[in-house]
């Protein structure tokens, strides 16, 4: 038996159910990138808000790339379960917030229609760092968007779909939208707004002005560890819930969402599920990106090089753990300024405990994906801040060296949109030139991130040591 609206009554008794009438809800949210993270995070908060009485916040999911998620969710009427694994007893909950899933490349008109619908107020995004189509220095990379910039072309990026959807809204005299980025970028709302503005200025300057006037792009900090689900997990979930769930997600009990309180129109009361609405999220974002994600990436490249598969294994290694603690507390923590807005030691201790969770095996290889898109906000920004203040960053440099060896691609395939370019750099620059080719004054990241000559020398020593080993 497979999970569906019709089969809800047959779920095992321990599974928590949505506390509202799903069929009575209109869709108020369009979400791009309806992967496991969204299902374990924003969809849960939205479910909480509807259970508390908020109405018409159903989610229309949109996939920008493959149809896999639609194939998992459409036969299940959008339903899926979220299982929490930690030290306490496992908890499984049925989430009803997602009403349907559109595969945007297959049915672009349906995605545009969802954006143009009168009931839609919010568009949210978990399209990963590369979904924003930026150059290494963070500008909109128009070369990636050429095909859709031609007049009348079918949209393919978030920008193309938003441009089409917003144009319909403007023409129909509808209200603007709140665009909520839930990706791990520093000041993600400001970044999205700036990039979309550049795009709209290029295709329709009148629409760009309308967007600036009528829409809002709050920044948000999102946090929940959500490893990719395996076949063995699905098997175990089927036993727990009493039927198959092809869209099931597994996560930790912890979740956090800090949202800049700046909306263009109505929103669900996500605070009912514990979200924090604040006037400025920048410190929360910086702390999370540099301490959690920065440590994650360091564990990924250093841990894989030492032969580990999972985060909980790597963090237990007696040589890695002190390095990660130093990266989190002193280097990431130190970059947050004299008033970091949180207790750095307590936050680091909480993160270490989350990483050590043996009930939630989290693959290092999953975190190692797309490093070129992740390291600027996780490592390069805190590194620049620390170096400018004269603070050494040995742990960050060790992690950076491990990433550099990773992208050489000798040990395992490199899953990164810049993989070919990075491999070509290694080819042409070689071991003695790669540090300069990446981080020197003319390096790949140079428009925004250069690493001082002293630190480049330290980095070179690390690379030499790793290449010799």
The residues binding ligand CS2 (CB under 6 A) are: 184, 223-225, 292-293, 296, 366-367, 374
- Closer to ligand CS2 by Cβ: residue 161 or 301: 301
- Closer to ligand CS2 by Cβ: residue 355 or 449: 355
In a 10 Å sphere around its CB, with 0-12 CB exposed, 13-18 middle and 19+ buried, how is residue 307 labelled? exposed
CB 301 within 8 A of CB 293: no
Residues in the chain: 469
In a 10 Å sphere around its CB, with 0-12 CB exposed, 13-18 middle and 19+ buried, how is residue 235 labelled? exposed
CB of 293 vs ligand CS2, minimal distance in Å: 4
- Closer to ligand CS2 by Cβ: residue 121 or 354: 354
- Closer to ligand CS2 by Cβ: residue 83 or 184: 184
Tell me the C-alpha distance between 133 and 143, whole Å.
9
Tell me the C-alpha distance between 332 and 351, whole Å.
13
Give the Cβ contact number of residue 410 at 10 Å: 10
CB of 92 vs ligand CS2, minimal distance in Å: 21
- Closer to ligand CS2 by Cβ: residue 121 or 374: 374
CB of 44 vs ligand CS2, minimal distance in Å: 13
CB of 210 vs ligand CS2, minimal distance in Å: 33
Closest-approach residue to ligand CS2 (CB): 296
Long-range contacts, 465-468 (Cβ 8 Å, 24+): 465/401, 466/305, 466/401, 466/402, 466/405, 467/405, 467/431
In a 10 Å sphere around its CB, with 0-12 CB exposed, 13-18 middle and 19+ buried, how is residue 271 labelled? middle
CB of 9 vs ligand CS2, minimal distance in Å: 34
- Closer to ligand CS2 by Cβ: residue 211 or 379: 379
Smallest CA-to-CA distance from 181 within 208, 215, 225, 221 is with 221
| Residue 120 CA, distance from chain mean position | 23
Question: 139-150: buried (b, 16+ CB within 10 Å) or exposed (e) per residue?
Answer: ebbeeebeebee
For 172, the token pair is 């129909």
Q: C-alpha distances in angstroms, 184 versus 132, 331, 377?
A: 11, 19, 8
- Closer to ligand CS2 by Cβ: residue 20 or 45: 45
- Closer to ligand CS2 by Cβ: residue 234 or 363: 363
Q: C-alpha distances in angstroms, 430 versus 289, 354, 409, 412?
A: 31, 38, 13, 19
CB of 124 vs ligand CS2, minimal distance in Å: 15
Q: Is the dihedral of CA 116, 122, 127, 131 positive or negative?
A: positive
CB of 370 vs ligand CS2, minimal distance in Å: 8
CB of 443 vs ligand CS2, minimal distance in Å: 23
In a 10 Å sphere around its CB, with 0-12 CB exposed, 13-18 middle and 19+ buried, how is residue 309 labelled? middle
CB of 368 vs ligand CS2, minimal distance in Å: 8
CB of 389 vs ligand CS2, minimal distance in Å: 26
């Amino acid at each position: 038996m497979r999970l569906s609206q019709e089969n809800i009554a047959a779920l095992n008794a321990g599974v928590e159910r949505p506390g509202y009438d799903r069929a009575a809800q209109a869709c108020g949210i369009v979400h791009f990138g309806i992967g496991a993270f969204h299902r374990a995070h924003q969809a849960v908060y939205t479910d909480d808000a509807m259970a508390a009485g908020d109405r018409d916040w159903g989610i229309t999911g949109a996939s920008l790339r493959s149809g896999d998620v639609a194939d998992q969710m459409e036969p299940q009427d959008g339903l899926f379960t979220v299982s929490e694994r930690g030290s306490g007893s496992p908890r499984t909950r049925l989430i009803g917030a997602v009403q349907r899933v559109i595969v945007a490349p297959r049915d672009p008109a349906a995605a545009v229609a969802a954006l143009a619908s009168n009931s839609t107020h919010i568009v949210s995004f978990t399209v990963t760092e590369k979904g924003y189509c930026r150059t290494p220095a963070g500008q909109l990379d128009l070369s990636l968007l050429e095909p859709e910039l031609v007049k009348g072309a079918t949209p393919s990026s978030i920008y193309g779909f938003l441009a089409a959807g917003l144009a319909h809204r403007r023409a129909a005299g509808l209200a603007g939208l709140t665009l909520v980025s839930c990706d791990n970028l520093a000041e993600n709302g400001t970044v999205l707004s700036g990039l979309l503005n550049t795009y709209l200025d290029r295709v329709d300057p009148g629409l760009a002005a309308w967007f600036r006037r009528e829409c809002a792009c709050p920044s948000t900090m999102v946090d929940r560890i959500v490893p990719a689900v395996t076949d063995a997990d699905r098997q175990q979930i089927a036993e727990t819930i009493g039927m198959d769930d092809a869209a099931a997600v597994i996560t930790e009990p912890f979740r956090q969402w800090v949202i800049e309180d700046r909306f263009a129109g109505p929103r669900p009361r996500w605070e009912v599920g514990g979200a924090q609405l604040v006037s400025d999220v920048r410190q929360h974002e910086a702390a999370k990106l540099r301490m959690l994600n920065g440590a994650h990436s360091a564990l990924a490249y250093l841990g894989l090089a030492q032969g580990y598969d999972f985060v909980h294994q790597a963090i237990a290694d007696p040589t890695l753990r002190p390095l990660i603690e130093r990266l989190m507390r002193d280097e990431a923590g130190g970059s947050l300024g004299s008033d970091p807005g949180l207790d750095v030691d307590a936050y680091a201790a909480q993160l270490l405990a989350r990483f050590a969770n043996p009930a939630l095996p989290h693959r290092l290889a999953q975190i190692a994906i797309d490093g070129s898109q992740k390291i600027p906000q996780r490592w390069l920004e805190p590194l620049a801040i620390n170096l400018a203040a004269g603070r050494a960053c040995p742990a960050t440099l060790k992690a950076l060296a491990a990433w550099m060896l990773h992208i050489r691609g000798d040990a395992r395939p490199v899953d990164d949109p810049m993989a070919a370019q990075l491999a070509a750099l290694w080819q042409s620059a070689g071991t003695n030139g790669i540090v300069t080719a990446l981080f020197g004054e003319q390096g790949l990241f140079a428009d925004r991130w250069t690493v001082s000559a002293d630190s480049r020398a330290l980095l070179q020593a690390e690379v030499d040591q790793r290449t010799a080993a």
